[in-house]
């Protein structure tokens, strides 16, 4: 039994970084204290942004989301990849109505045909977000998107529909891409490095849905397939929405025929058309395991 009269030592002897930073602000101005060399290293942005400090920035960009996701008790995520250009159905109709040339009309018609996947992404996010907490409050299958518009918005929106929090992993781009309004603010992260962003997509991922998309979606999806193919990541359920789209833009069978992938590699992912199909496949994967 603890002795209530026993003196309790302080938790730490040294002041914390925040306290030291406040003390540094109060220092008397002089030629020495005003020179950038005198700034505390962790408060010196010019120093932190030097080319030589890239390894440190890598570490910080890896560590910050990791710590905050741990603190939010997020044990696993459901990652949803997809185009930033596929609109929700009502906006797809407006896009088609506004088309002024044959080429614009053709593109608008194709986007309109794929707009159904906005609704499927939203519904899948609703389903995943209803996953109950562990006994200790750890959350699983927390929806995680790239934080942007279109399919990404649909994913975060579906979680929001059922009162659940969701993650957005945004990235600084030359053209402005703000987080969509449905991302939980405290789980909205911004990245400078694509590599670190892709790591965070997969560190907690326990299921991945890949919707029709362009270069970014291909980059993320095929890197994941490569990681599993090479044994760097254990197999997890990966669902590709829209067999017609994927078989039109990628001839997977030809890759097998050319001998550059094995027939078994095509079993790394599963085609689906609806949110219910996708969730059933994921449940089957973990029931079998």
Q: At 188, is the pLDDT very low, low, confident or very high (cuts 50, 70, 90)?
A: very high
The pLDDT, as a whole number, for residue 176 is 66
Q: Is residue 29 part of a domain?
A: no
Mean pLDDT for 243-267 is 97
The predicted model gives 244-263 an average pLDDT of 97
- Averaged pLDDT for residues 17-27: 88
Share of the chain above pLDDT 70, in %: 98
Per DSSP (E only), the strands in 23-149 are: 77-81, 142-145
Structural domain includes residue 265: yes
Q: Is 26 inside a domain boundary?
A: no
Per-residue confidence band for 289, with pLDDT thresholds at 50, 70 and 90:
low
What sign for the dihedral angle of Cα 67, 160, 89, 281? positive
| Crossing angle between the packed helical segments 89-98 and 116-129, to the nearest 10 degrees | 160
Query: Residue 10 has what pLDDT?
Result: 75
CB 210 within 8 A of CB 239: yes
Look at residue 139 and give its three-state secondary structure.
Answer: strand
**Cα–Cα distance for residue pair 114/259, rounded to 1 Å:** 32
Number of domains in the chain: 1
Look at residue 25 in the predicted model and tell me its pLDDT: 85
Sheet containing strand 167-171, edge to edge, reads: 188-191, 167-171, 142-145, 77-81, 205-210, 238-241, 270-272
61-94 confidence digits (pLDDT tens): 999 999 999 999 999 999 999 999 999 999 888 8
Q: Indicate which CATH number applies to the domain containing 82.
A: 3.40.50.450
In a domain, 203, yes or no: yes
Whether residue 39 lies inside any domain: the answer is no
Residue in this structure with the two tokens 């309004």, named with its chain if needed: 181
Write phi, then psi, for 239 (nearest 5 degrees): -115, 130
Q: What span, in angstroms and rounded, lies between the C-alpha atoms of 157 and 25?
A: 43
Residue 22: inside a domain:
no
Say what percent of the chain tops pLDDT 90: 82
Contact predicate 126/162, CB 8 Å: yes
Residue 53 in domain: no
Backbone angles phi, psi at 75, to 5 degrees: -85, -35
Cβ pair 80, 124 in contact under 8 A: yes
Q: pLDDT tier at 175 (50, 70, 90 boundaries)?
A: confident
DSSP 15: P
Biggest CA pair distance of the chain? 86
User: Comparing 9 with 270, which gets the higher pLDDT?
Assistant: 270
The answer to the question of residue 30 being in a domain is no
pLDDT in tens, 135-167: 999 999 999 999 999 999 999 999 999 999 999
162: containing domain = 73-288
With left for phi above 0 and alpha for psi between -120 and 50, is residue 257 left, alpha or beta? alpha
């Amino acid at each position: 039994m603890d002795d209530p009269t026993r003196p309790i030592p302080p938790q730490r002897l040294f002041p914390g970084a925040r306290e030291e930073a406040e003390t540094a602000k109060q220092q008397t101005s002089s030629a020495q204290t005003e020179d950038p060399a005198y700034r505390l290293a962790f408060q010196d942005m010019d120093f932190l942004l030097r080319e030589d400090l890239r390894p440190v920035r890598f570490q910080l960009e890896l560590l910050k989301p990791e710590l905050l996701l741990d603190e939010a008790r997020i044990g696993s995520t459901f990652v949803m990849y997809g185009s930033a250009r596929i609109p929700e159905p009502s906006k797809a109709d407006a896009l088609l109505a506004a088309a002024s040339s044959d080429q614009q009309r053709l593109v608008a018609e194709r986007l309109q045909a794929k707009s159904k996947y906005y609704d499927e992404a939203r519904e899948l996010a609703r389903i995943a977000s209803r996953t109950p907490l562990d006994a200790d409050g750890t959350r699983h299958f927390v929806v995680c998107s790239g934080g942007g518009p279109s399919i990404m918005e649909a994913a975060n929106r579906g979680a929001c529909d059922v009162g659940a929090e969701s993650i957005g992993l945004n990235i600084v781009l030359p053209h402005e891409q703000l987080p969509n309004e449905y991302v939980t603010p405290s789980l909205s992260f911004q990245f400078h490095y694509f590599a670190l962003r892709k790591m965070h997509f997969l560190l907690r991922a326990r299921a991945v849905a890949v919707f029709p998309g362009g270069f970014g979606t291909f980059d993320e999806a095929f890197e994941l397939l490569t990681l599993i193919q090479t044994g760097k990541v254990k197999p997890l359920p990966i669902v590709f929405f829209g067999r017609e789209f994927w078989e039109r833009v990628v001839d997977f069978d030809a890759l097998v025929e050319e001998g550059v992938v094995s027939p078994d590699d095509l079993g790394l992912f599963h085609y689906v058309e609806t949110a219910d199909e996708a969730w059933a496949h994921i449940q089957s994967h973990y029931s079998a395991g």
